[in-house]
Structure 1
Amino acid sequence: MVPSVLATGQVPSRVQRRGRYLPESMRHPGKMLPSIASTVISLFSEPGGLVVDPMCGIGTTLVEAVHLGRDAAGMEYEADFAGLAAANVQHARSQGAAGSARVACGDARNIASVFAGLRGSAALVLTSPPYGARTHGHIRSGTRDGDGGPVEKWNHRYSTDKGNLAHQPLPELVGAFGEILAGCCELLRPDGVVAVTIRPIRIDGYLVDLPGQVITAAEKAGLVLVHRLVALLCGVRDGGLVTRASFFQMLEARRHQEKGSPVCVTAHEDLLIFHRRVPHG
């Protein structure tokens, strides 16, 4: 039985990655939490199975898969991050990971042709779309550090390449993600699973149901939603929640609350689980 809430935030992200990933991996602005990847891979695949991530970033899905004895394949648009994903996989192998993985650099909408030799063989597709061209990234706040200086930000952009889907307006991004999922369907085994981690986002102050839009796009791509789970980003301790929110997330939530808006820091991601639609007749 699949649990409805996954306790994936018990340990902070930086601790989960320490020693397991190359230090430069922290440059990526939108990394999947390793514990989410490892939990999903353990739940929905078996050792020796194939795990695919069409938007693999620095390779979190691939690294966790090979450590769990699965094989993996990933695509990444940015050559810099694709190279880092391959290096992280090699690092995992040097630590004794039993699985193997391959990384391709390119547009994930072409994944079915790039990995044509894997058609019909993937047990699991696990991925997450970008949330836009920028994230909070890393910051240094003069207010927080006590010197009264300005806020400095770095590692907060996916890229400067306008061809990256992160730069597209939301409707185009969601539509392209649907195309990617359709290509991934061609790689799936008949009993394969597609898992997408996603959360609502705010655009110009308005809350947008991005999980709902992804569900609609996935259904158009030939998938059927079978579970909508909660993957915690916060810790659970003594019956309460331990926030893992960044300084900026806390600051933004506080500003909205002072204006009377019921905004809270993000404590979880939706984990959407899909099966392929079975043709009737």
Structure 2
Amino acid sequence: MTKRTTSVWATGQQPSRTQRRHRYLPESMQHPGKMLPAIAARAIDTYTQPGDLVIDPMCGIGTTLVEAVHLGRNAAGVEYEEGWAKLAVANLTHARRQGATGSATVLAGDARGIARLLPNLTGQAALVLTSPPYGSATHGHIRSTRDTGEPGIRKWNQLYSRDRANLAHQSLPALLDGFAQILTGCRTLLRSDGVIAVTVRPYRHRGELVDLPGHVQRIARRAGLELADRIVCLLCGLGHGKLLNRASFFQLHEARKGWARGLPIHATAHEDLLIFSTQAAPATASACRRAA
């Protein structure tokens, strides 16, 4: 059995907006819950080979799919919100204009039925790469008093769904049940040596820390998956002997409120990339690098 290792990936050397510039259509920035392109690209490069199939059951604006086709992989995505699905298709068209060699398809639908939506891909995926929703609204974009000189905070692009049937609108237990269904369906799409990678971070709800990575590990076991590896994907930058802060205004705001109450709250500086396998011998990042 391959020894499990813990790895740290420097995926935050550039801010999200810089990573997307010219590679994605400008309107992509309107989505408030995007996967960091550097995380997607590194995961795809680590766990797949050119020509392999990559699937994202909640593909949003298509970050996983775009990075896959740029790396010569093929991809398929499902997105519940039709508007974001259309933008994912547009981003893929943009990628092809830039010379991406992989092919990809996007379906608008409910990923809880992904095995039914993608029946022709059963047993074919080398990698399923996705992230669970964090709620109906995320922090989006803001302009604070410091920016405008006017009192108050203005937010925009903070909503990615108004459909109450979207998992993002459900309570945490219902969201986790739905995500467990998605993982179960994705398991049927994996080939024998394939892996499921979930990028996820803790978040605060009304000041309380929600251990979403821990919850995801528990529901993955329910779906018949075993934790094979855990990668620390840095959201901060590394440079000149110090961390370059990439925390959002709202992360810092929550931290400052905690400090005022005497609580040692810090802004999140990384995401977990949890790697799950159906095999007894884990498919770790180090093992995949050796195989490549």
TM-score tier, shorter chain, comes to over 0.9
Inter-partner Cα distance in structure 1 for 2:37 and 2:5: 19
Inter-partner Cα distance in structure 1 for 2:55 and 2:230: 20
1:158 alignment partner, one of 150, 160, 168: 160
Inter-partner Cα distance in structure 1 for 2:191 and 2:263: 46
Question: Are 1:24 and 2:16 matched, yes or no?
Answer: no
Percent identity of paired positions between Structure 1 and Structure 2: 62
Question: Are 1:116 and 2:116 matched, yes or no?
Answer: no
Q: In the alignment, residue 65 of structure 1 is paired with which amino acid?
A: A
After TM superposition, give the deviation of residue 197 of structure 1 in Å. 0.4
Offset from partner CA, 1:51-104 (integer Å, 9 cap, x none): 000000000000000000000000000000000001001100010000000000
Specify the alignment match of 1:140 in structure 2: 143
After TM superposition, give the deviation of residue 239 of structure 1 in Å. 2.5
CA RMSD of aligned residues (A): 1.2
Inter-partner Cα distance in structure 1 for 2:72 and 2:88: 17
Q: Which fold has the larger relative contact order, with Cα–Cα distance below 8 Å and residues 6 or more apart in sequence?
A: 2
Specify the alignment match of 1:64 in structure 2: 67
- 3-state SS in 1 of match to 2:180: helix
Offset from partner CA, 1:13-45 (integer Å, 9 cap, x none): 100000000000011110000000000000000
Inter-partner Cα distance in structure 1 for 2:267 and 2:94: 33
Specify the alignment match of 2:8 in structure 1: 5
Question: Are 1:226 and 2:234 matched, yes or no?
Answer: no
Offset from partner CA, 1:233-264 (integer Å, 9 cap, x none): 00011231111112222222112112211111
2:201 alignment partner, one of 199, 209, 212: 199
1:91 alignment partner, one of 89, 94, 102: 94
Q: State the TM-score, normalizing by the size of structure 2.
A: 0.92
Unaligned runs of 5+ in 1: none
Q: In the alignment, residue 173 of structure 2 is paired with which amino acid?
A: P
Inter-partner Cα distance in structure 1 for 2:205 and 2:18: 31
Inter-partner Cα distance in structure 2 for 1:148 and 1:193: 49
Specify the alignment match of 2:45 in structure 1: 42
- 3-state SS in 1 of match to 2:40: helix
Aligned length in residues: 277
Inter-partner Cα distance in structure 1 for 2:56 and 2:148: 42
Q: In the alignment, residue 270 of structure 1 is paired with which amino acid?
A: D
- 3-state SS in 2 of match to 1:262: coil
Offset from partner CA, 1:175-234 (integer Å, 9 cap, x none): 110100000011100000100001112222211211111011111101000111100000
Q: State the TM-score, normalizing by the size of structure 1.
A: 0.96
Question: Are 1:253 and 2:246 matched, yes or no?
Answer: no
Question: Are 1:177 and 2:179 matched, yes or no?
Answer: yes
Inter-partner Cα distance in structure 2 for 1:103 and 1:200: 28
- 3-state SS in 2 of match to 1:4: strand
Question: Are 1:105 and 2:105 matched, yes or no?
Answer: no
Q: Is the 8 A contact 1:58 1:82 kept in 2?
A: yes
After TM superposition, give the deviation of residue 108 of structure 1 in Å. 0.2
Specify the alignment match of 1:242 in structure 2: 244
Inter-partner Cα distance in structure 1 for 2:5 and 2:81: 34
2:276 alignment partner, one of 267, 271, 274: 274
- 3-state SS in 2 of match to 1:212: helix
Q: Is the 8 A contact 1:124 1:195 kept in 2?
A: yes
Q: In the alignment, residue 184 of structure 1 is paired with which amino acid?
A: C
Inter-partner Cα distance in structure 1 for 2:47 and 2:176: 25
Unaligned runs of 5+ in 2: 281-292
Q: Is the 8 A contact 1:2 1:43 kept in 2?
A: no
Inter-partner Cα distance in structure 1 for 2:196 and 2:238: 27
After TM superposition, give the deviation of residue 149 of structure 1 in Å. 2.7
